[in-house]
Structure 1
Amino acid sequence: MTVQAKRKFLIIGSFLMGFGTLGALDGIIFHQLLQWHSVVMETTRQGQIMSDGFFHLAVTITLIGGGLVLWIAGKPTDVTRGVQLLIGSFLIGGGVFNLLEGIINHHLLQIHRVKPGDPNALLYDLGFLAIGLGLFLAGYVIYRYARNSYVV
């Protein structure tokens, strides 16, 4: 496999792992431990559990896919600035999860909020988006540094 192909697999796999990890953390922390919300709130408890189950299944598939792509990529150290690409792409993936989930589910579709029923629900939603933006920007800075330092 060429170094270019390894770089692409490393970036894609890391992105998927970051996306899936933040999805898993969202499900574990907000859905299960804190029990603040489910994917679909306006349904029966059984419906909430099922919607969360489908969410966890999708997140698990994403994590498995990311792991397989990273396995195909090989060792990050085989690629110039591979570790930085891995970290940057992982953070970008996590940030994209938070931004997409927050914008689509919390604001556009309004199927749930981070902490529904709380008088400060909007602040929780905005904090969720801020964390996503922070992860994305940190990842982008690391990723750009690694890309700009790349020597063919």
Structure 2
Amino acid sequence: MIRLTKEDKNLYIAGFILGLGILGAIDGIVFHQLLQWHHMILSPDIKLEIFTDGLFTAAFSALMVWGALKIFRDARNHELGYSWKVFVSGTLIGGGVFNLVEGIIDHHILQVHRVRPMADNPLLYDLAFLASGIVLILIGLWIKKLDKKAA
């Protein structure tokens, strides 16, 4: 088991929170706005779709602000690590967790939307979204492990 110092743990947690927000932003910007593949809730009522997208934007924006404030507070208290590997691993793992949790809950359990509902095989896009989460987590874990080998 990899043990982090208190300072590195704070940095990792901040990265994790930022990763959740950043992947939410990528999802919202790319899939909701640029590609217009889906909204948070698929509905014939466009106002409802836009409103739920706004709530989603508020949520991932709040996560990014929270992560930034955590970094500021921990740095101010001299309780923030400085390893870029710890930070990047936390960010990637947080982003991967976002994809897995959002994908499992919204695409499969609640079925409020699919990644690309009008595709010939929407399940393929949903599974690719989940796979991207797993890949991000694995890369994050690998980077975190590299940091401890160098120490």
Within 2, Cα distance between the matches of 1:66 and 1:96? Answer: 15
TM-score (norm 2): 0.88
Structure 1 position 43, deviation (Å)? 4.8
1:51 deviates by 0.2
CA contact (8 A) 2:9 2:81 kept: no
Compute the displacement of 1:5 (Å): 3.2
Q: Partner of 2:14 in structure 1?
A: 13
Give the aligned length: 145
Name the aligned partner's letter for residue 116 of structure 2: K
RMSD after superposition = 2.0
Query: What amino acid maps onto 1:12 in structure 2?
Result: I
Counterpart check, 1:52 vs 2:42:
no
Structure 1 residues without counterparts, runs of 5 or longer: none
TM-score (norm 1): 0.88
CA distance in 2 between counterparts of 1:97 and 1:54 reads 16
Cα distance in structure 1, aligned partners of 2:81 and 2:30: 35
Q: Distance in 1 between matches of 2:27 and 2:146?
A: 29
Q: What's the CA shift for 1:66? A: 0.5
SS of the equivalent of 1:74 reads helix
Q: 1:96 is matched with which residue?
A: 97
CA contact (8 A) 2:10 2:81 kept: no
Post-superposition shift, 1:144? Answer: 2.7
**Where in structure 2 are there 5+ consecutive unaligned residues?**
none
The 10-residue stretch of structure 1 (136-145 or 57-66) with the greater mean CA deviation from structure 2 = 136-145
- Fraction of identical pairs, as percent: 43
1:9/1:72 contact within 8 Å kept: no
CA distance in 2, matches of 1:20, 1:147: 26
C-alpha separation in 1, matches of 2:64 and 2:47 = 25
- Map 1:53-72; keep pairs closer than 5 Å: 53-72=54-73
Task: Report if aligned partners of 1:15, 1:94 keep a CA contact under 8 Å in 2.
Answer: yes
| 1:112-131 matched pairs, under 5 angstroms | 112-131=113-132
- 1:29 maps to 30
Q: Which residue is 1:4 aligned to?
A: 5
Q: 1:51-96 deviations in whole A, cap 9, x for unaligned?
A: 0000000000000000111223339xx747x111001111000100
Given that 1:6 and 1:74 are in contact with CA atoms closer than 8 Å, whether structure 2 keeps it comes out as: no
